[in-house]
Amino acid sequence: MAMIIEGEERIAAPVETVWRALNDPEVLKDCIPGCETLEKKSDTEFVAAVSLKIGPIKARFNGAVELTNLNPPHSYTISGEGKGGVAGFAKGGADVSLKADGADTTILTYKAKADVGGKMAQLGGRLIESTSKKLASQFFADFNARVSGATEAQSA
């Protein structure tokens, strides 16, 4: 069951700062909902463990996250795939692009794709879709708060 989620965030930070944060495992770990661990294997590969509750199903996913189509500091694709045992699997990715809006503001746009299978896919499309949208917007909102906050803390 696949779905597409799109959105935009205005981040009060220069493009380079936002780009660095998008490539920082600590920042990603803090912003990915339910992320327990995120370890860097290379500049573009990470291993992750994420716990999520979708409807009545709570599952822990172990998987990999990869960065591809890198075009610093303007865009990349972040994709991940996780296996959650009997709950099934989840995989998804987002094309993320950054555009400067003046010197200190960045417009981040994303187009995410998510796909789930196994027991979770039986929960019904609406629940999966609303949960996926909520998780995507939560990630980007948390990311925005973290990056804008970091910039304000540095300039204070």
What is the per-residue burial (b if ≥16 Cβ within 10 Å, else e) of 61-89? Answer: bebebebeeeeebebbbbbbbbbbeebbb
How many distinct structural domains can be found in the chain? 1
Range of the domain at 41: 2-155
The model's pLDDT over 77-87, given as tens digits with 9 standing for 90+, comes to 999 899 998 88
In which residue ranges of the chain is pLDDT below 70? 1, 150-156
Rounded percentage of the chain residues whose pLDDT exceeds 70: 95
CATH of residue 100's domain is: 3.30.530.20
Q: What pTM did the predictor assign? A: 0.87
